[in-house]
Amino acid sequence: MITLRQVKSGDRVALVAPASSFPAEELTAGVAELARLGLEAVYDESIFDRDRFVAGAPAVRAQAIQKAWADPSISALIAMRGGYGSAQLLPLLDPELLRRSRKALIGYSDITAILSFYQQHGLAAIHGPMIDRRLSQGPTAYDESSFRRVVMSAEPAGELRPAALEVLSPGVASGTLLGGTITQLVSSLGTPWAFAPQPGGVLFLEDVGERPYRIHRMLTQLVQAGVFSGARAIVFGEFPGCDEPGGDPVIRDVLRDFTAGFAGPVLFGFPSGHTAGATWTLPFGVRAEISGSGSPAVIITEGAVS
């Protein structure tokens, strides 16, 4: 696993739009919040491009990312938002340039496609807050502590113990943490960039606004594709908006039933990615221990940046 470049106070970070377009005021507010964190935000004017439901042509979006990778004055990239379009860029991205630059592209949701690209090519990846409706709204919309511990410190992030984290199945296990938004992981199957974790990993899975049967269908596909084979633990996100209208069934019960035969610990409600409150930052591609007894926790035992 190749660690990413550590982001330090005073560094420049590039804002990029790999997926859908965004309101201009979100960029302005996000730049101000990054300045509060001691970071200087920069961006290419192509970030404002529009092409139906994506933020400009795929070649233009990919070029902006690779320009930031190649710029030695930039230490990391942050996605403006998710939506749709990141998978279009995968054939256009140069993995050797990425490996040389070691720069994170921080995001979640549709950005899962690019996070998986990082992991496929041996790098850590950062599942963390984007600009639109997260960094733009300040610490009420993202967890500043986990962001700093994962992105701005070379030390392992240590215990991440959100108050609402629940145990669906008890136990303790450790392995390499990886995953992302289920919809994007499923859509990668059958492509050259298919999500195919090595045995012995810890899966983090989350989504938003999908009815329980749709989540069940996608998880079934992942199981049948071998994604769960050899996994030692599962950590589910909050799944906001995923309870059946009317409240029966609720997604928590569906996930508990789905994983009933799983041998390792299963947690529910880790607030990373799509969340009702502040979203936490998780490093993928690094070692983590899952504690599913007593007060549950995800314990990051390896640094993602250096």
Q: How far apart are CA 44 and CA 61, in angstroms?
A: 10
Among residues 116, 274, 289, 291, the one annotated as catalytic is 274
Residue for token pair 């499923």: 186
User: Among 278, 241, 305, 283, which Cα is nearest to 8's?
Assistant: 305
Q: Tell how many helices (H) and how many strands (E) occur in the chain.
A: 8, 14
DSSP state of 38: T
Instruction: Say whether 238 is catalytic.
Output: no
Q: How far apart are CA 111 and CA 12, in angstroms?
A: 21
Among residues 75, 174, 188, 206, the one annotated as catalytic is 206
Q: How far apart are CA 202 and CA 200, in angstroms?
A: 7
Among residues 109, 136, 169, 174, the one annotated as catalytic is 109
Q: How far apart are CA 250 and CA 95, in angstroms?
A: 41
CB hemisphere CA count around 135 (13 angstroms): 28
Instruction: Say whether 109 is catalytic.
Output: yes
Instruction: Say whether 206 is catalytic.
Output: yes
Secondary structure of 120-180 as H, E, C letters:
HCCECEEECCCCCCCHHHHHHCECHHHHHHHHCCCCCCEEECCCCCEEEECEEEEEEEEEE
- Alpha-carbon separation of residue 305 from 12, 74, 94 (angstroms): 16, 15, 21
Strand, helix or coil at 78?
strand
Which are the catalytic amino acids?
109, 206, 274
